[in-house]
């Protein structure tokens, strides 16, 4: 099993969620987060300068079986992409075990 942690633009979240459902990734958690990026310049909009060093993003946490890893990562990469600075990051790590509390199932059955 793998855990995918993705930090994406809030404006891309609905598209990513829909695309994940289309590839049968139907359960994940998400949070609104603020991060600090590499961009140091501010932007001016209607005469007001805005700092872009603190970036509002959405953080997704997805635990999947190994066979879903490549398609899930590729779906996020394709759907969250805008080509601009601040598109986000994806991190993948190993999960040793998963349990469904209600049924006490473990492993792959615990996450599907």
Q: What percent of the chain has pLDDT over 70?
A: 84
How far is residue 28 from each of residues 14, 25, 41, 58, 71, measured CA to CA in Å?
13, 8, 34, 12, 15
What is the model's pLDDT at position 53? Answer: 60
Task: Tell me the whole-structure pTM to 2 decimals.
Answer: 0.84
Residue 51: is its pLDDT beyond 90? no
Q: Where are the beta strands (DSSP E) in 17-100?
A: 29-36, 43-45, 48-50, 54-64, 88-94
């Amino acid at each position: 099993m793998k855990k995918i942690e993705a930090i994406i633009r809030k404006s891309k979240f609905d598209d990513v969620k829909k695309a994940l459902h289309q590839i049968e990734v139907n359960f994940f958690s998400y949070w609104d987060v603020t991060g600090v990026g590499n961009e140091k310049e501010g932007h001016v909009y209607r005469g007001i300068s805005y700092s872009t060093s603190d970036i509002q993003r959405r953080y997704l946490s997805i635990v999947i079986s190994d066979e879903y890893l490549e398609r899930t990562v590729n779906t996020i990469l394709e759907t969250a992409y805008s080509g601009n600075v601040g598109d986000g990051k994806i991190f993948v790590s190993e999960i040793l075990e998963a349990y469904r509390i209600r049924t006490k199932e473990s492993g792959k059955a615990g996450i599907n």
